[in-house]
Amino acid sequence: MIDLSNIKPFASGGNRNCYINPNNANTCIKVTKKEILEKIKKDKVWYKKFRSNESFDDNLREQLAYKQKAITSPIDNSIWDHLAKWNGMVNTSLGPASETELIKNDDEIAETLENYLFREGLTDEIKLAINSFEIWLRKHHILTKNIIPHNIVLKKIDGTITLKIIDGLGCSSFIPLPKHSKYFAKRYVERRISLMWSRINWDLTGRKGDWK
């Protein structure tokens, strides 16, 4: 069991607290927040009825999402070019958690795309990085929920920025046709790319109105 009792999370999202693994500084341990788990328990009946995404533990969603065909039967090794590796579920003093590759630049934890965009704006180097990321999404038909800049971090490889998804894999369509059909997967990925740009532009223009 991994003891997290004396460790502070290095980051925290809407659903999970993220810790550096005390036994391996290259991995990240994500624990679903207590209040979120309580909400899930309360909504369980509704989840069973409607399979609502909100009432689904993010760690469980991620575990299933890493089992998608694009990842389990990849076209080639480039599947990992823009994706944090998933090591599986682990037991911690705070309950079950997911363990993933911690994306770092030297010894610093990688910053999010959101952070970068707020600070630097849409620079040429980040446009290039987003472009390579899009090519990869289209090549592998990787199924993601909406791609939000705080779920992507920036890894510098030979001085070039490479985007890495650290959260948000999965399929957000109610009827999961993209999981079973290449045609629907292609359409689904195009829609995610277009919504990613809506979200980026919304972030860059002061978040007015509905980003979609």
Interface ranges with ligand ATP (CB under 6 A): 11, 13-16, 18, 28, 30, 58, 84, 100-103, 109-110, 112, 150-151, 153, 166-167
Instruction: Say if CB 4 and CB 92 are below 8 A apart.
Output: yes
Which long-range contacts link 170-177 to residues 24+ away (Cβ below 8 Å)?
A: 170/61, 170/62, 170/64, 170/65, 170/68, 170/143, 170/144, 170/145, 171/65, 171/68, 171/143, 171/145, 172/53, 172/145, 172/146
Nearer to ligand ATP, 68 or 151 (CB): 151
CA distance 151 to 147: 7
What residues between 64 and 103 interact with Mg ion by CB under 5 A? Answer: none
Contact status: 58 vs Mg ion (CB under 5 A): no
Contact status: 112 vs Mg ion (CB under 5 A): no
Paired tokens of 172? 């957000």
Smallest distance, Mg ion to C-beta of residue 167, A: 4
Contact status: 146 vs Mg ion (CB under 5 A): no
Smallest distance, ligand ATP to C-beta of residue 121, A: 19
Nearer to ligand ATP, 172 or 187 (CB): 172
- Binder of residue 113, out of Mg ion, ligand ATP, none (CB less than 5 to 8 A by kind): none
Residue nearest to ligand ATP (CB): 13
Per the listing, tokens 């009825």 go with: 49
